[in-house]
Amino acid sequence: MTSTPPRDSTPDSGGPLLDVQSLQIAFPAGRGVARAVDGVSFTVSRGESVCLVGESGCGKSLTALSLLRLVPPPGRIEPGSRIRFDGADILTLDDERLRDIRGQHMAMIFQEPMTALNPVLTVGDQIAEVLRVHTTLARRDIWSRTVDMLAQVGIADAPARASQYPHELSGGMRQRVMIAMALIMSPKLVIADEPTTALDVTIQAQILELLRDLRARTNMALLLITHDLGVVAEMASRVIVMYAGRIVEEANVAELFAAPAHPYTEGLLAAIPRLGREAERLQTIAGSVPPPTALPSGCAFRDRCPYAFDRCASEEPALVEIGAGHRARCHLIAEPARRADRREVVRT
């Protein structure tokens, strides 16, 4: 099998595999633009598992699509944004070099396999196409590797399944086909956008276990997009929380669960169902994520925040370092007594 690295630079083994800086994604809105992703910066190291978390509308999926330059028009990645992958500047690559990276070095597992898979091609043909594009393997070897990959992702009777069409497979099997397609070239980074959405709990657990096992065996980096902090607890070493197009908190998973700094993160954690919890109803975060065309002044979360005070309406908080590898965007970091006072009021 042949494999061509990004050709505009030499891979930098000492730096992060993925380095995103000041990412902005804008859509036309009247006479101006609406920034659905605004100033997002993060890194993913080789072999690391990072989760990007937030409700629908927070900008998670757009951020993921931008990494492969797949932002749907009329959206665009704004000047000043930077995406570097394994030493290559993704935003300046020509189409040929970008194709070298897509599928071969960076791959994506999309949220809904029934719409991502081609209904008129067998699943085997769709996986084999990745090998045909990126290798010079003989037809027989391509099919052999395709069937072997289906077996590796846990599909029984892989030779027969490879000759079936997507509609002939269950939802869980279609998701495994998407994973096989993403992993067939042993990429350095896999982006998984809500890979367990619409699957039942048993199949969800199997898919997550499969991703964990494959990451451990291949040392691939994993960027997992999810709204489910229960999934984060199982999968992540580091968590990035997004709200209204911006990062509001980032920390390693243990610290985030033990001491969330942002009220939005606190609310997401409180909403996780727990066995033995005595409360009659699950906690929720009131309201919804504001659209990028109607963000409130100051802090974008203030209308939903139980700790909001005057400063939150007049001044947007900065993303500040509060510990090793832990940063958050909230005025409460400078005034922690306000959170303690509010909790005391709620308890009494």
pLDDT tens profile 261-307? 999 999 999 888 776 666 557 788 989 999 999 999 999 999 999 99
- Written as six digits, the tokens of 179 are 């994973």
Calculate mean pLDDT across residues 16-40: 95
Calculate mean pLDDT across residues 53-60: 94
CA distances, 329 to each of 52, 213, 274 (Å): 16, 34, 27
Q: Which of 78-92, 155-169, 227-241, 289-303 has the lowest mean pLDDT?
A: 227-241
Chain position carrying tokens 């290559």: 88
Report pLDDT for 336.
87
Nearest-CA neighbor of 36 among 242, 292, 243, 247? Answer: 292
pLDDT > 70 fraction of the chain, expressed in percent and rounded = 91
Q: Which amino acid is at 256?
A: L
Report pLDDT for 220.
92
> Model confidence at 330, in pLDDT bands (50, 70, 90)?
very high
pLDDT tens profile 181-222? 998 999 999 999 988 876 788 888 888 888 888 888 888 999
Is the confidence at residue 62, as pLDDT, over 80?
A: yes
Three-state SS letters, the chain = CCCCCCCCCCCCCCCCCEEEEEEEEEEEECCEEEEEEEEEEEEECCCCEEEEECCCCCCHHHHHHHHCCCCCCCCEECCCCEEEECCEEHHHCCHHHHHHHECCCEEEECCCHHHHCCCCCCHHHHHHHHHHHHCCCCHHHHHHHHHHHHHHCCCCCHHHHHCCCHHHCCHHHHHHHHHHHHHCCCCCEEEEECCCCCCCHHHHHHHHHHHHHHHHHHCCEEEEEECCHHHHHHHCCEEEEEECCEEEEEEEHHHHHHCCCCHHHHHHHHCCCCCCCCCCCCCCCCCCCCCCCCCCCCCCCHHHCCCCCHHHHHCCCCEEEEECCEEEECHHHCCCHHHHHHHHHHHC
The answer to whether 105 and 85 are in contact (CB under 8 A) is: yes
Name, of 3-12, 80-89, 106-115, 204-213, the range with top average pLDDT. Answer: 80-89
**Rounded Cα gap, residues 332 and 65, in angstroms:** 32
Phi first, then psi, for residue 147 (nearest 5°) are: -65, -40
The answer to whether 56 and 289 are in contact (CB under 8 A) is: yes
Is the confidence at residue 344, as pLDDT, over 70?
A: no
Q: What is the pTM of this model?
A: 0.89
229 versus 20: which is more confidently predicted? Answer: 20
> Please, what's the b/e burial string for 206-223 (b: 16 or more CB within 10 A of its CB; e: otherwise)?
bbbebbeebbeeeebbbb
- What distance lies between CA 138 and its chain's CA centroid? 35
Average pLDDT, the chain: 89
Report pLDDT for 253.
95
Phi first, then psi, for residue 87 (nearest 5°) are: 90, -10
The answer to whether 57 and 41 are in contact (CB under 8 A) is: no
> Model confidence at 142, in pLDDT bands (50, 70, 90)?
very high
- In terms of phi and psi (left: phi > 0; alpha: psi -120 to 50; beta: otherwise), the region of 325 is left
